[in-house]
């Protein structure tokens, strides 16, 4: 395989009309160019240039080689431009995986907005509650919600947003069963909880750092947050849910937040990527975009939900 630099030097020598002019243009000694041309001719097994102290020109095969060499260099330049453009301008396909609820409540408007902003990007979104092997299954990015820190698996992690879990019930349920004022009151109420999320014990904490464990016996358990929210709206009991997914129901008074000073989980949402070095510009742009926009959605406080 020929050294592309030698091909470039050959074309420059021909275009400049000799070794001296080419050396001045390239800021290389004439001796260096002469050596590189001898190496090129030895590799090809033919003479490309006729050079004497008075004359300079191409041989017949040198003329033919020059024609192809200029084409090769143009193609190489175009290839470099394509790569550099992709590095500077987000483009290509992003494969992202996330839990169903994150896709439904946090991403449903954000991904279209991002795609409108970057018309050369395509997104393949796979929603699942299964823990995905993002490297083995070829994903560029995963969004994961978690209460405890994610395991250090060698993957790159970036914090995206806080996701406080709070307590909610319907006005109908509260009218019938009464409104709990303190965490201890929960033991006398029907509850609704996520499957596997320490469903028999709710760990409540307030802004002062006080933590309480309350034993509950959920009447309805599910791994689907939408089902839990609808059960709460249907007067079945008190639900522990991410606050941001209940904003619409709070606004139209289908749900009421209970004990606003207490949360049932100080959860987080994080982006997980296979690697940091050489991260495609499109993936980097999406992660930056989500880190800026998702906190606006997941923000939840008394002011955020006041009606």
For residue 302, being part of any structural domain is answered with: no
pLDDT of residue 305: 44
With a CB cutoff of 8 Å and minimum separation 6, the contacts of 26 are 9, 12, 33
For residue 197, being part of any structural domain is answered with: yes
Query: Domain check: are 190 and 62 in the same one?
Result: no
Q: For residues 219 and 234, is the Cβ–Cβ distance under 8 A?
A: no
Structure token digits, residue 142: 């995963």
Higher pLDDT, 240 or 209: 240
Q: Domain residues for 177?
A: 163-266
For residue 305, being part of any structural domain is answered with: no
pLDDT tens, 33-65?
999 999 999 999 999 998 776 677 899 999 999
For residue 307, being part of any structural domain is answered with: no
Share of the chain above pLDDT 70, in %: 94
Structure token digits, residue 251: 């606004």
pLDDT tens, 80-107?
877 776 667 888 999 999 998 999 999 9
Q: For residues 159 and 248, is the Cβ–Cβ distance under 8 A?
A: no
Query: Domain check: are 104 and 150 in the same one?
Result: yes
Query: Domain check: are 44 and 171 in the same one?
Result: no
For residue 78, being part of any structural domain is answered with: yes
Per the listing, tokens 């995206």 go with 160
pLDDT of residue 81: 74
The alpha carbon of 288 is separated from its chain's Cα centroid by a whole number of angstroms, namely: 8
pLDDT tens, 232-272?
999 999 999 999 999 999 999 999 999 998 998 889 999 99
Query: Domain check: are 183 and 155 in the same one?
Result: no
pLDDT of residue 304: 43
Query: Domain check: are 248 and 170 in the same one?
Result: yes
Rounded-to-integer distance, Cα 125 and Cα 105, Å: 14
Question: For residue 84, what is the domain's CATH number?
Answer: 1.10.10.10
Query: Domain check: are 187 and 216 in the same one?
Result: yes
Query: Domain check: are 142 and 285 in the same one?
Result: yes
């Amino acid at each position: 395989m020929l050294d592309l630099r030698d091909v470039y030097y050959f074309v420059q020598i021909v275009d400049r009309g000799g070794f001296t002019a080419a050396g001045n243009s390239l800021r290389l000694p004439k001796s260096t160019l002469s050596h590189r041309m001898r190496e090129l001719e030895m590799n090809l097994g033919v003479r490309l240039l006729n050079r004497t102290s008075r004359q300079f020109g191409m041989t017949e095969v040198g003329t033919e080689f020059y024609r192809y060499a200029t084409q090769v260099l143009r193609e190489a330049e175009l290839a470099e431009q394509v790569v550099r453009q992709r590095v500077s301008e987000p483009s290509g396909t992003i494969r992202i995986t996330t839990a169903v609820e994150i896709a439904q409540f946090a991403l449903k408007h954000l991904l279209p907005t991002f795609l409108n902003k970057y018309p050369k990007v395509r997104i393949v979104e796979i929603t699942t509650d299964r823990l995905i092997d993002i490297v083995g299954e070829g994903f560029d990015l995963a969004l994961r919600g978690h209460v405890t820190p994610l395991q250090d698996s060698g993957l790159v992690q970036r914090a995206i947003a806080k996701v406080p879990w709070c307590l909610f019930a319907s006005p109908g349920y509260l009218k019938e069963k009464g409104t709990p004022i303190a965490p201890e009151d929960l033991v006398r109420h029907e509850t609704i909880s996520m499957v596997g999320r320490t469903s028999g014990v709710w760990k409540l904490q307030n802004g002062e750092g006080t933590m309480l464990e309350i034993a509950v016996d959920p009447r309805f358990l599910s791994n689907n947050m939408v089902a839990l929210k609808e059960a709460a709206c249907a007067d079945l009991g008190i639900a522990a849910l991410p606050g941001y997914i209940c904003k619409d129901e709070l606004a139209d008074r289908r749900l009421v937040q209970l004990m606003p000073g207490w949360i049932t989980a100080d959860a987080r949402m994080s982006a997980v990527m296979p690697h940091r070095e050489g991260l495609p510009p499109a993936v980097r742009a999406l992660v930056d975009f989500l880190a800026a926009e998702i906190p606006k959605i997941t923000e939840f406080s008394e002011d955020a939900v006041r009606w």
